[in-house]
Structure 1
Amino acid sequence: MKVLWGLGKLLTLLFWSVVLVNLLTPFVYPLYLLVNLAGGLLVVLHLLEALLSFRTLRGRAHPWLDRLKIVIFGVFHLQTIPAPTAPKASHA
């Protein structure tokens, strides 16, 4: 599974580089609009993911770095974060 999440992160970085190149030198007429639309939609989705995972990341060592990675990579970073463990109850 780690290979798939790593490949997803790599492809996401490739997509963000295409969006950045499109912003610097726009592509041909219909394509640049579609790339901008897809990039804007992905930004909104990743910000929503970061907002929804706010409470989950609170106990992490570097929660703001994790939030930044969620904004960049989205679910591909969320899946690499280990699930929080519940404290064991002591029954006296």
Structure 2
Amino acid sequence: MKLLWGLGRLLTLLFVCVVLANQLVPFVRPLHLLVNLAGGLWLLIHVLEALLCNRSLKGRPHPWRDRGRILLFGVFHLQTIPAPAAPEASHA
């Protein structure tokens, strides 16, 4: 499973490089619009993920680094963050 998450991170990084390359040297006519649209949707989704997971990052040692990785890798970084411990139920 770790290999799958690593592959996902690698492909995400490759996608970001393609979007940035498209900004520097635009691709052919119909393709550059689609890449820009996909890059915008990708950014919107990752910003929403970072906002929704903000509370769970409060107790982390480096929350800003985690936010940056969520913006870059999204769910592939979220899978590496351990789930917060559930509060113990009091028995009467």
TM-score, normalization: structure 1?
0.93
Deviation at 1:85, TM superposition (A): 1.6
Q: What percent identity do the matched residue pairs reach? A: 71
Partner residue, 1:47:
47
Say whether 1:60 aligns with 2:47: no
Deviations 1:47-78 (A, max 9, x none): 00000000011110001100000000011100
Q: Mapping of 1:12-91 within 5 angstroms?
A: 12-86=12-86, 88=88
Gaps of 5+ in 1: none
CA RMSD of the aligned region, Å? 1.5
TM-score, normalization: structure 2?
0.93
For residues 49 and 90 of structure 1, the distance between their equivalents in structure 2, rounded to whole angstroms, comes to: 33
Gaps of 5+ in 2: none
Off by >2 Å, runs of 4+ in structure 1: 86-91
Q: Tell me the number of residue pairs that the alignment of Structure 1 and Structure 2 aligns.
A: 92
